[in-house]
Chain A
Amino acid sequence: MKITKTILAMSLAAVMAMGVLSGCSSDQQSLEKIKESGEIVMYTNAEFAPFEYIGDNNEIVGVDVDIAKELAKDLGVELKIENVKFDTIIGAIQTGKGAFGAAGITVTPEREEQVDFSVKYVKSKQYIVQKTDSNFNTIDDLKGKQIGVQLGTTGDLTIDDALMAAADREDGTDGILYNSGAVLNQYNSAPLAAADIGTGKLDAVVVDELPAQAIANRENSGLKAVEMKYSDGSTVEEEYAFCVQKGNTELLEAINNTLERLMAEGKIDEYVLNHTTQE
């Protein structure tokens, strides 16, 4: 009797949760609604300099913020920034809590299933952060090593993919690191991962180019950042884009217009330069 009751309770709770789930996915951040409310909400994770970080007045600044401000200006609305964990962003856009996500988000097939992406506005390479006396240059060099990444980032996805067996991978071959004894360690932020190189728990951290350099350039860090290559010498290149809720084409078009204008004016390179040299 007691067990039946518990099962009943659990299933009821599940049903209620599903009702709530289906109820809220109808939130739409349509262009019309944004213009009406006079405010556009951007979701980001301000722990990713120079794209978004805490600036002089403890406000969130960065390349993505500069772009988003231009977007808001083009739409004639105010920009509101919500700062969350990186893995919360896609969910917030999916459920319509925010209009768009901008956090140096790399376009991947998995993410494209969840949200729609804008045009790609910046290219980033993956870097290996390591001790100054280490010598890791390619993914192959990481065989059998302890590798750190920031959870949910491209470094995480790249290394995770390289660790998989043929059956789980799209191209049907074993990943480079498969069965090599290499271990993937996921951290909440890249600097935290890099700290574990110092403690000897990690051999290397794989992270995007600019944060990697910021970590290695810290005074007395004892670390260096090296561009990660495949064994054939090609680089592991990623492209960033803004994301919006699936099917929100009007807003996506507006974002694309702004991005394309900024790229044509050479503004984005200027933003990157601004936010990397003031350090």
Chain B
Amino acid sequence: MEAFFDYLATSFYNTFIYQNRYLLFLEGLGNTILIAIFATLIGVILGILVAIVRVYSAQTGKLKWLDWICSVYLAVIRGTPTVVQLMIAYFMIFSFIDNTILVSVLAFGINSGAYVAEIVRGGILSVDKGQTEAGRSLGLSAATTMRSIVLPQAFKSCLPSLGNEFITILKETSVAGYIPVMDLTKAADLVRSRTMDPFFSLISIALVYLVLVLGMNAIFKAIERRMAKSDRR
């Protein structure tokens, strides 16, 4: 037992304290959070736009070509692994951008947009058709009906799946190290290659990711509770 605590103490010292390595982890954590937040933002905006286009096109038969572009986007993004997309973004599509954090934000954002689009589309379809009809017959434009009547209700029903998607993005940023970005996982890789102790750094960052996800969970619970206030059931 004592030997185990000795191991813990030595490993903790070697992994975090020695040569101020905790700074490396902090930098990595910062980048992980930064990438996750902005990728989520891009994903949400892109996802909502794509979802609206697809629903609108399916209901009215207009915007066929835009709908087609969206389907290609969904097929390609959902049909290829994130890490492959990240490498393609870095080497080819965004090779003119020098800021690698920005490249990973764009890559993860575009990736997430495809998943968010399907979640939001499901949410919009779950809103009863009568809601749109009511809005339209009250004289609201199609756009206003969508913005003020359909989307708020859709948002509520897709919230749990959205939360799930945000958690997924946060964890997927762990492959960012394939390009020159120092995320939390890469920081652990670097330190591990010095300490030659694979377990401690892995368990440590696993705990950090877990804490982050639990935090996100709590936030989403709070939002869901707030949203449920208007439920009259």
In the complex, what residues of B have CB within 8 A of residue A24's CB?
91-92, 95
Q: Is the CB of A97 within 8 A of B190?
A: no
Q: Is the CB of A82 within 8 A of B71?
A: no
Partner of A49, one of B23, B194, B198: B194
Q: Is the CB of B20 within 8 A of A84?
A: no
A82-B193 in contact given A13-B76, A21-B92, A91-B91 (Cβ < 8 Å): no
In the complex, what residues of A have CB within 8 A of residue B91's CB?
24, 91-92, 95, 97
Q: Is the CB of A191 within 8 A of B95?
A: no
A58-B75 in contact given A9-B68, A85-B178 (Cβ < 8 Å): no
Q: Is the CB of B192 within 8 A of A192?
A: yes
Partner of B190, one of A47, A88, A95: A47
* Chain A window 22-57, contacts with chain B (Cβ cutoff 8 Å), 1 for yes, 0 for no: 001001000000000000000100111100011111
Q: Is A214 at the interface (CB under 8 A from chain B)?
A: yes
| Complex Cα spacing A5 to B70, Å | 13
A10 vs chain B, min Cβ distance (A): 7
Q: Is the CB of B72 within 8 A of A12?
A: yes
Q: Is the CB of A58 within 8 A of B19?
A: yes
Q: Is B35 at the interface (CB under 8 A from chain A)?
A: no
* Chain A window 160-202, contacts with chain B (Cβ cutoff 8 Å), 1 for yes, 0 for no: 0000000000000000000000000000111110110000000
In the complex, what residues of A have CB within 8 A of residue B199's CB?
195
Give the contacts of B134-183 with A (CB-CB under 8 A).
Answer: 177-180, 182
Interface residues of B (CB under 8 A from A): 10, 19-21, 23-24, 27, 68, 71-72, 75-76, 87-88, 90-93, 95, 100, 177-180, 182, 186, 189-199
Interface residues of A (CB under 8 A from B): 5-6, 9-10, 12-13, 17, 20-21, 24, 27, 43, 46-49, 53-58, 82-85, 88, 91-92, 95, 97, 188-192, 194-195, 214-215, 218-219, 221
Between-chain CB contacts (< 8 Å), 10 pairs = A9-B68, A24-B91, A53-B190, A54-B190, A83-B180, A88-B179, A191-B197, A195-B199, A214-B196, A219-B10
Q: For the A-B complex with A83-B190, A189-B189 known, give 15 more contacts whose Cβ atoms are closer than 8 Å.
A: A9-B75, A13-B72, A20-B93, A27-B95, A43-B180, A47-B189, A47-B192, A84-B177, A85-B178, A97-B91, A97-B95, A191-B192, A191-B193, A214-B196, A221-B196
